[in-house]
Structure 1
C-alpha cells in the first residue's frame, strides 16, 4: 500500500534505524535531523507559501498529527517527530511527510 493511501494511527511506535532508512529512501528531499525528519519547501512568493501552509494545515487536521513549521517569505520548513513515541520518528511522521510532498508537487507542477 502506498504511503499516500495510509493514515496516521494513535500510538504509532518509533521506527528502528533500518525501517527509517528504508522509508526515507522513498522521500529523498527529507533528512534526519536528530530525532525528527525535516524538509524545506521553496516557493516563488509569500502568497504561494501561505497557500501551501493552508493546504498542509487541512491535511494535518485530518491526520491529527502536527509538525513544527517555520514560515518565511518564499520558504516553509517542516519538521515531524512523534511526541507520544518518545520524541522520535514514527510511521505517522513518514506518512505525513509523503502527503506534504504530494501537496507540494500538486501546487508547484507547471
Structure 2
C-alpha cells in the first residue's frame, strides 16, 4: 500500500457518481445495507470480509439484525479516502447486489461531539483520559476501537453557555426531510452555514447540528 493514491475532495464528488449507494460523511465512505433476514446479513458480512481480505484493506462493519453499517477510510494515508476505498466500496456494492441487499441511505448517520472552548489544550487531556481516546493530528479525539463518537474542540473566544453539542452527519440527499421535520416540531434552525451544517436548538435551548458533505 502507498499513501500516494489519495483522492482530492473535488475529484471525489464526481467519482462517487459511480457509487450511488455510498456517501462521504465525516471523512469516510459510508453506506447501510438491509438484507431480507439476519442470516442473509451475516452472509453479506462474510462476503465483505472476503473482499477486504483479498484487497488487504479492511472496512468497519457493524451488524444489527438484518442491517450492516459499513464505512471505509485509509488510515495509512492519514485518514484520507483513497483509490483503495473506492475499489473496495465498488466490490462491496457488487456483493450486496448479488444477495439482493437494499441500500438504506436514510440510515446513514455519523454522530460526533463538539465542545466549545477558548483553550482546547487545557481540557484535551482530561477527555482523552476519561474516555480512553487518542488525540488525532487535527486535535480531535477518537476512540481507538472506532466504536464511540469522535470529539472535536470548536475554538471560540466566547464559548456558548451550552458548551457541548452533537454533530449529526446525514447525506445531503436526506437532510431536507430531517430539517423539515425539525422545523415542523418547533425547533429553531440557524441555516446561515447550510448546506454544510444547520444549527438546531430544541425547546430548551440545547443545540445540535445537522451536517452534510456539501460545501465542507
TM range (shorter): 0.7 to 0.9
- Larger helix share, 1 or 2: 1
Q: Does 2:76 match 1:49? A: no
Shift of residue 35, structure 1, vs aligned partner: 1.0
Residue in 2 aligned with 1:38?
A: 30
Q: Does 2:78 match 1:86? A: yes
Unaligned runs of 5+ in 1: 1-9
For residues 1-110 of structure 1, what are the structure 2 equivalents within 5 Å? 10-12=1-3, 13-108=5-100
Using structure 2 for the length normalisation, give the TM-score.
0.45
- Secondary structure of 1:95's aligned partner: helix
Name segments (4+ residues, structure 1) moved above 3 Å. Answer: none
- Calculate the aligned-residue CA RMSD, in Å: 1.2
Shift of residue 60, structure 1, vs aligned partner: 0.6
Greater RCO structure (CA 8 Å; 6+ sep): 1
Shift of residue 34, structure 1, vs aligned partner: 1.3
Shift of residue 39, structure 1, vs aligned partner: 0.3
Find the aligned partners of 1:107 and 1:29 in 2 and give their Cα distance.
15
- Larger strand share, 1 or 2: 2
Find the aligned partners of 1:43 and 1:93 in 2 and give their Cα distance.
22
Using structure 1 for the length normalisation, give the TM-score.
0.86
* Larger gyration radius, structure 1 or structure 2: 2
Find the aligned partners of 2:94 and 2:11 in 1 and give their Cα distance.
21
User: How many residues were matched structurally?
Assistant: 100
